[in-house]
Amino acid sequence: MKKPDNHILVIFGASGDLTFRKLIPAVYDLHKQELLPEKFAVVGASRTDLSDEKFREKMKDGIKKFANYKEDNEQVVNDFLKKISYISVDTEKKEDFQKLKNHLLKLDNDLGTDGNVIYYLSTPPSLYGVIPCLLGEAGLNNNENGSWKKLIVEKPFGYDLESALELNKKLSKYFKEDQIYRIDHYLGKETVQNILVTRFSNGVFEPLWNRNYVHHVEITSVENIGIENRGGYYDSSGALRDMVQNHLLQLTGLISMEPPSSFDSNAIRNEIVKVFQSFRPFNGRDIQKYSIRGQYTSTTIKGEKVPGYREEKGVEKESRTESYVAMKLFIDNWRWGGVPFYIRTGKRMPTKVTEVVIHFKRTPHFLFSNQNQVNSCNQLILRIQPDEGVLLKVGMKVPGQGFNIQNVNLDFHYSDLSNAYLPTAYERLLHDCMIGDSTLYQRADAVEAAWKFVDPILKAWKNDHNIPVYGYPAGTWGPEKADEMIEGKNMTWRYPCKNLEGDGIYCEL
């Protein structure tokens, strides 16, 4: 793989959980694979008052717990930690950014990093518009004398369309669009990237990838945990903002995009934007007809009492914030006209799973229509997590007399590649930013197009109290009302569950 240019990585919010659990372990794994430049340093920056030694001790603990190479001996880790330093920066003090500038200039002179810097905003969203402004005012944003500056921004990219437009305006004041990397860790998963390979490298799939052969597409991303200790944040956000607007619409874009003119980052992102612009907008009654929201209610699972959403810490007692969303959307273009896309996400489901299911149409004349066990269409299942892989469901003849048919699985698991190294999402995305590949990062126009689609739903749910919030017992697959969405006789959602039989770790409930 390509080695990046020499540079310094500055992480704002470095004392937080994301840096400890994900970012520094990912950087360490890149170091172990010799994918970092020869001249490289990490600078942690946040309000917390820490010495270099204390910060390194904390990051060492994170590496030992969360890195792929966490079994390394002390000396190997200690050698890496020499690349890390820390500086206390208060965003309310402009002089602190001059202090940061001096720190970076000294590091650059000592190491010879050619003036190249990546700024990572691992901070609360309220600072996304503040820190870039302070960097710009301190002159830390400019590409000068052949050097480059890049800015990585974590989701959420706004709270609604208006705030997304405002954030993009603030970011673009001091950073050009090609300097801005909006990170969505879902797109860093190996199986998400494999969607493009499955589609565009296999002649058997691409000719069928359209309205003529696909009955419907189903995208699921659910978790078996609740909102944990994030009640204050989650109750002001909800599943639609937290999952649908970014992760699931991005998956929809990758699944349904046209073949790009090349595998260039702009060519791919251009096609994703076209998909977002082709979403049929929700108007009036469509919102209640094509979208369902729900909240998990208290129940007992395996003898343990599980609280309902409104009983969670930090959640309003009369909250109408959704912990579950199911949605039917249409892409009004030549390829997908009339094909429904079903999206769902939720907390307190029976298992944790993210998958895409392509449901192909039945054969025009089904000779075995009396066979109940194959009274379903072929399915191509792209499993994103857990147990990443690809599964194709086909009908096969049972040995013996007659034509007894049984559904079987043509199955591949990434875990079967015993010698293959699977990088973490942050590992892949950080390296992509370092080498200047923005393919898996969101562009401003894509963010705005996604919010334009979601915004009417958010406003209707907020203002129209006639739109119900359906309850569903914790540990179930959501409101029964969601099953009425699926078009077609005997059609329903696919219900995967953890099991060591059936589809590897899946079974059909």
List all residues 6 or more positions away from 406 whose beta carbon is below 8 Å from its beta carbon: 373, 374, 395, 396, 397, 398
341's tokens: 């896309």
In a shared domain, residues 145 and 223? no
Phi, psi of 100 (to 5 degrees): -65, -40
Burial 476-501 (b: 16+ CB within 10 A, else e): bbbbeebeebbeeeebebbebbeeee
For residues 290-317, give the mean pLDDT.
92
Mean pLDDT is lowest, of 289-298, 363-372, 466-475, for 363-372
On whether residue 268 sits in a domain, the answer given is yes
- What CA–CA distance (Å, rounded) separates 377 from 407? 10
Beta strand pairing call for 40-46 and 84-88: parallel
On whether residue 473 sits in a domain, the answer given is yes
Instruction: Return mean pLDDT, the chain.
Output: 89
In a shared domain, residues 339 and 475? yes
- Given a cut of 90, is residue 422 above it in pLDDT? no
In a shared domain, residues 42 and 119? yes
270's tokens: 């251009």
Phi, psi of 287 (to 5 degrees): -65, -45
% residues pLDDT > 90 (the chain): 68
What total number of domains does the chain contain? 2
On whether residue 175 sits in a domain, the answer given is no
pLDDT digits (tens, 9 = 90+) for 114-130: 999 999 999 999 999 99
Domain boundaries, position 102: 7-154
- What CA–CA distance (Å, rounded) separates 413 from 13? 36
On whether residue 110 sits in a domain, the answer given is yes
* Confidence band, pLDDT 50/70/90 cuts, at residue 367: low
CA 287 to the chain's CA centroid: 24
Please indicate whether residue 253 or residue 401 has the higher confidence score (pLDDT).
253
- What CA–CA distance (Å, rounded) separates 364 from 155? 45
Please indicate whether residue 488 or residue 465 has the higher confidence score (pLDDT).
465
* Confidence band, pLDDT 50/70/90 cuts, at residue 509: very low
In a shared domain, residues 222 and 142? no
Neighbour tally for 33: CB within 10 Å: 15
List all residues 6 or more positions away from 295 whose beta carbon is below 8 Å from its beta carbon: 308, 309, 310, 319, 321, 322, 323, 324, 469, 470, 471, 472
In a shared domain, residues 232 and 126? no
Question: Which of 33, 29, 47 lies closest to 2, judged by CA?
Answer: 33
Neighbour tally for 409: CB within 10 Å: 15
On whether residue 166 sits in a domain, the answer given is no
> What pLDDT is stored for residue 376 in this prediction?
60
Burial of 506 (0-12, 13-18, 19+ CB in 10 A): buried
In a shared domain, residues 147 and 208? no
C-alpha to C-alpha distances, 368 to 153, 395, 400, nearest whole angstrom: 54, 10, 16
Which CATH number covers residue 61?
3.40.50.720
pLDDT digits (tens, 9 = 90+) for 136-180: 999 999 888 889 999 999 988 999 999 999 999 999 999 999 999
- What CA–CA distance (Å, rounded) separates 113 from 249? 38
The secondary structure of residue 42, as a DSSP letter, is E
> What pLDDT is stored for residue 315 in this prediction?
92
On whether residue 102 sits in a domain, the answer given is yes
| Residue at which a domain ends, from 154, 178, 197 | 154
**Residue with the two structure tokens 């929809």:** 252
- What CA–CA distance (Å, rounded) separates 251 from 383? 12
106's tokens: 């000294």
Sign of CA dihedral 215, 188, 451, 262: negative
Whole-model pTM: value is 0.90
The HSE-up count of residue 239 (CA atoms within 13 Å, CB side) is: 30
* Confidence band, pLDDT 50/70/90 cuts, at residue 371: low
Largest CA distance in the chain: 84
pLDDT digits (tens, 9 = 90+) for 195-241: 888 888 888 888 999 999 999 999 999 999 999 888 888 999 999 99
Residues recognised as catalytic: 247
In a shared domain, residues 135 and 204? no
- What CA–CA distance (Å, rounded) separates 13 from 3? 26
On whether residue 128 sits in a domain, the answer given is yes
CA 275 to the chain's CA centroid: 18
* Confidence band, pLDDT 50/70/90 cuts, at residue 489: confident
- The DSSP secondary structure of 284-296, one letter per residue, reads TTHHHHHEEEEEE
Which CATH number covers residue 297?
3.30.360.10
Strands (E), 261-306: 291-297, 299-301, 304-306
- What CA–CA distance (Å, rounded) separates 17 from 297? 29
In a shared domain, residues 150 and 212? no
pLDDT digits (tens, 9 = 90+) for 319-334: 999 999 999 999 999 9
91's tokens: 């965003």
On whether residue 258 sits in a domain, the answer given is yes
Sign of CA dihedral 494, 498, 504, 509: negative
In a shared domain, residues 140 and 209? no
Phi-psi region of 342 (alpha: psi -120 to 50; beta: other; left: phi over 0): beta
Neighbour tally for 103: CB within 10 Å: 18
For residues 21-25, give the mean pLDDT.
96
- What CA–CA distance (Å, rounded) separates 150 from 456? 33
In a shared domain, residues 150 and 192? no
The secondary structure of residue 447, as a DSSP letter, is H
**Residue with the two structure tokens 């390829």:** 335
Coil, strand or helix: which one is 473?
strand
Coil, strand or helix: which one is 29?
helix
In a shared domain, residues 205 and 342? yes
Beta strand pairing call for 7-12 and 40-46: parallel
Coil, strand or helix: which one is 87?
strand
In a shared domain, residues 200 and 132? no
Question: Which of 44, 58, 122, 133 lies closest to 89, judged by CA?
Answer: 44
